[in-house]
Amino acid sequence: MGVWAANSKRAERLIMAVSPVAQEFSDWGDSDKTDAAIDTSADGVSEAKE
């Protein structure tokens, strides 16, 4: 399952690939390789997968 993070509810700005599937099949940058350092243990990721 792919999970992405965005800095707005409409995803009109910054979007980052969080989960391994999202990182593999997306052109969006890997969130864990940014200053944001968002990875699969971040708040909300497990809820998004459910």
Average pLDDT, the chain: 84
Distances, alpha carbon 3 to alpha carbons 12, 18, 21, 32, in Å? 16, 5, 8, 12
User: Considering the entire predicted model, what is its pTM?
Assistant: 0.72
The answer to whether the CB of 16 falls within 8 A of the CB of 28 is yes
Provide the pLDDT confidence category of residue 38 given band limits of 50, 70 and 90: confident
- Tokens matching residue 50: 């459910």
Provide the pLDDT for residue 39.
Answer: 81
pLDDT at 23 exceeding the cut of 80? yes
